[in-house]
């Protein structure tokens, strides 16, 4: 029914805004966990994420995928690679935020789509349209300008972008849903992370037991901060078109960029503004190309699916 469809779409949009909004505002959370260092925060995130995701899967009783995964060594290997790559991504991001590099971290997620396209060309031999080539070229120019602006390559941004693009590529090959994938990956991460936390405790360097009850609760909530946006994203992904999700994904780095400038008061000299402007031009080209392609696909589908003259109209009455 049309009413149900509109309600589902609205629910999907709200969940999409919630997911990307939470990802965009997460730089406000990591500083609350000081004096814990980035490595301790990362380890807690791995351990508590598994706890929250397993609880969610127990609630919905969705475990059939686990048995299938355990019988497929190649997919298990890919899950291990995904876990390793996302560990790098999480660790660098937490360190960047708590070290005063929120703006540079946001750049990583702005250029991630460009890196994903470049990897598609280099690794998957994909062919690009001229507009996509122009976007990738503009993105490369932006990195050059930012290298001049920072006095070094924006390695935090590049590390975040390449690690997340690699993670996306591996996840695509694994073919698991978001919550199931996080459960499998954090299961791989769990024992090393727990061992590290126990080692910190044995050496009297753990803040979990010495920072007070409030600090302990905040460290435990890293699992919720990781899992909740993913649940919202999953609810959005099945209700709104991929093109809409593609536009919503820019909310997270926009929020992060705004927080870096307005809340954390990070410096933005003219050459950095120039570099970011080039990145936004590149993303504008990609967005225009994606919307244009989606419009052409819908038009082609409408033409091919149009009822013949004299044929009964198959459109539901209440559509």
Residues 102-118: what's their mean pLDDT? 91
Q: Which of 175, 168, 225, 178 is CA-nearest to residue 62? A: 178
Q: Which of the four pLDDT bands, split at 50, 70 and 90, describes residue 316?
A: very low
d(CA 150, CA 267): 11
d(CA 243, CA 224): 28
Maximum average pLDDT range among 42-46, 144-148, 201-205? 42-46
Residue with tokens 């996840």: 171
Between residues 54 and 299, the one the model is more confident about: 54
Torsion (CA) 277, 245, 252, 87 in degrees, nearest 10: -110
Question: How buried is 264 (Cβ within 10 angstroms: 0-12 exposed, 13-18 middle, 19+ buried)?
Answer: middle
Q: Which of the four pLDDT bands, split at 50, 70 and 90, describes residue 87?
A: very high
Q: Which of 287, 259, 255, 248 is CA-nearest to residue 17? A: 248
Residue 305 has pLDDT above 90, yes or no: no
Helices (H), 61-154: 64-70, 73-98, 102-124, 130-150
Residue 95's pLDDT is 97
The tens digit of pLDDT for each residue in 14-30 reads: 988 999 999 999 999 99
Q: Is 49 within 8 Å of 186 (Cβ atoms)?
A: yes
DSSP secondary structure string, 2-51?
A: HHHHHHHHHHHHHHHHHHHHHHHHGGGTGGGGTTS-HHHHHHHHHHHHHH
Secondary structure of residue 149 in the 3-state scheme: helix
| Average of per-residue pLDDT values in the chain | 86
Residue 296 has pLDDT above 90, yes or no: no
Count Cβ atoms below 10 Å from residue 124 Cβ, excluding itself: 8
Say how many residues make up the chain: 319
Residue 302's pLDDT is 61
Q: Which of 86, 117, 89, 92 is CA-nearest to residue 181? A: 86
CA dist list (Å): 59 to 53, 54, 68, 185, 252: 10, 9, 20, 19, 29
Between residues 221 and 318, the one the model is more confident about: 221
Q: Which of the four pLDDT bands, split at 50, 70 and 90, describes residue 4?
A: low
The tens digit of pLDDT for each residue in 142-199 reads: 999 999 888 899 999 999 999 999 988 888 888 777 788 889 999 999 999 999 999 9
Residue 319's pLDDT is 44
Residues 106-126: what's their mean pLDDT? 85
Residue 57's pLDDT is 86
The tens digit of pLDDT for each residue in 251-263 reads: 999 999 999 999 9
Q: What does pTM read for this prediction?
A: 0.86
Residue 297's pLDDT is 67
d(CA 183, CA 28): 25
Helices vs. strands in the chain: H and E counts, helices first: 13, 0
Q: Which of 87-96, 132-141, 258-267, 282-291 has the lowest mean pLDDT?
A: 282-291
């Amino acid at each position: 029914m049309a009413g149900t469809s509109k309600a589902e779409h609205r629910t999907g949009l709200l969940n999409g805004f919630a997911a990307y909004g939470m990802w965009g505002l997460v730089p406000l959370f990591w500083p609350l966990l000081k004096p814990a260092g980035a490595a301790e925060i990362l380890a807690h995130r791995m351990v508590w994420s598994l706890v929250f995701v397993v609880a969610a899967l127990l609630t919905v009783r969705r475990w059939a995928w686990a048995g299938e995964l355990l019988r497929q060594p190649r997919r298990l290997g890919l899950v291990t690679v995904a876990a390793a790559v996302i560990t790098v991504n999480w660790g660098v991001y937490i360190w960047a935020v708590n070290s005063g590099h929120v703006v540079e971290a946001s750049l990583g997620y702005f250029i991630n789509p460009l890196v994903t396209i470049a990897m598609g060309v280099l690794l998957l031999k994909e062919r690009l349209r001229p507009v996509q080539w122009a976007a990738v070229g503009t993105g490369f120019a932006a990195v050059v300008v930012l290298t001049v602006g920072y006095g070094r390559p924006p390695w935090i941004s590049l590390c975040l972008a390449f690690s997340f693009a690699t993670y996306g590529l591996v996840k695509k090959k694994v073919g698991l849903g978001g919550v199931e994938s996080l459960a499998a990956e954090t299961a791989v991460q769990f024992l090393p992370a727990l061992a590290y936390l126990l080692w910190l405790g044995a050496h009297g360097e753990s803040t979990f037991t010495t920072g007070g009850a409030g600090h302990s609760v905040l460290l435990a909530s890293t699992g919720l901060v990781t899992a909740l946006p993913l649940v919202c994203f999953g609810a959005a992904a099945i209700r709104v078109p991929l093109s809409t999700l593609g536009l919503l994904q820019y909310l997270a780095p926009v929020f992060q960029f705004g927080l870096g400038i307005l809340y954390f008061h990070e410096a933005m000299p003219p050459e950095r503004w120039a570099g970011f402007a080039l990145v936004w031009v590149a993303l504008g080209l990609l967005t225009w190309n994606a919307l244009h392609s989606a419009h052409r696909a819908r038009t082609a589908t409408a033409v091919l699916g149009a009822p013949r003259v004299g044929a009964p109209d198959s459109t539901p009455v209440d559509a």
